[in-house]
């Protein structure tokens, strides 16, 4: 975002999946503080908080592709010596009112499911605009697996329509 001046861009949507969803949300929050307008935010099964203590983490975080141990390692690697700043990186503790209209896609068999849905609820509570879809029967990362499931194409198409066809999430 370096070099982008407020007001010198057209429509801008930011989107990411998993850790990229976390980075997209943090980018949108940072942009708002800098006066840069982002028109829409798309999050596929986003990482939200370092605690890894939701019900979906407890029930799905040991035997599925994405494990609680791995995620805790990833958070520790991301935070480095700043581990005490975990509260500052927890999206559920952030001021979410400045987020643009947001669409969140979660997967039923994903340890991140509850985090993504909690983020959606927190955005709504903050007065933000959010829509959410849970894909039943799907696992973490399914949207990047179109060769394995037609649900991947459906999710990508849904997100594209939410972000681009409508020019913002409705």
The residue ranges of every structural domain in the chain are: 13-165
- Under 8 Å CB-to-CB from 126, ≥6 apart: which residues? 95, 96, 97, 99
pLDDT over threshold 80, residue 137: yes
Q: How confident is the model at residue 11 (pLDDT cuts 50, 70, 90)?
A: confident
Dist. CA 26–CA 5, nearest whole Å = 18
- pLDDT score, position 9: 58
How is 92-103 classified by DSSP, letter by letter? GGS-GGGPPSEE
**Does the annotation mark 110 as catalytic?**
yes
Tell me what percent of the residues of the chain surpass a pLDDT of 70.
87
Q: Is 103 a catalytic residue?
A: no
Q: Give me the catalytic one of 18, 56, 114, 168.
A: 18
* 76 in Cβ contact with 7 (< 8 Å): no
pLDDT tens digits, 31-68 = 999 999 899 999 999 999 999 999 999 999 998 789 99
Task: State residue 69's pLDDT score.
Answer: 94
Mean pLDDT within 12-28:
96
Is position 95 annotated as part of the catalytic site? no
Which residue among 17, 103, 114, 140 is the active-site one? 140
Asked if pLDDT for residue 12 goes beyond 90, the answer is no
- Residue 5's pLDDT is what? 52
Residue of 56, 110, 114, 168 marked catalytic: 110
17 band by pLDDT with thresholds 50, 70 and 90 = very high
- What fold does the segment set 13-165 form as a domain? Rossmann fold (3.40.50)
Average pLDDT, the chain: 89
């Amino acid at each position: 975002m370096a070099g982008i001046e407020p007001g010198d861009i057209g429509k801008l949507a930011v989107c990411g999946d998993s850790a990229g969803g976390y980075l997209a949300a943090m980018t949108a929050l940072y942009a708002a503080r800098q006066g840069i307008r982002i028109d829409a935010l798309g999050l596929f099964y986003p990482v939200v908080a370092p605690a890894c203590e939701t019900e979906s983490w407890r029930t799905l975080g040991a035997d599925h592709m994405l494990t609680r141990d791995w995620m805790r390692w990833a958070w520790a690697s991301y935070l480095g010596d700043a581990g005490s700043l975990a509260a500052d990186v927890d999206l559920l503790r952030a001021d979410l009112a400045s987020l643009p209209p947001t669409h969140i896609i979660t997967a039923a068999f994903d340890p991140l499911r509850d985090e993504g849905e909690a983020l959606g609820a927190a955005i709504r509570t903050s007065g933000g605009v959010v829509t959410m879809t849970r894909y039943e029967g799907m696992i973490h990362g399914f949207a990047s697996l179109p060769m394995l499931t037609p649900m991947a194409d459906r999710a990508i198409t849904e997100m594209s329509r939410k972000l681009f066809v409508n020019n913002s999430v409705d």
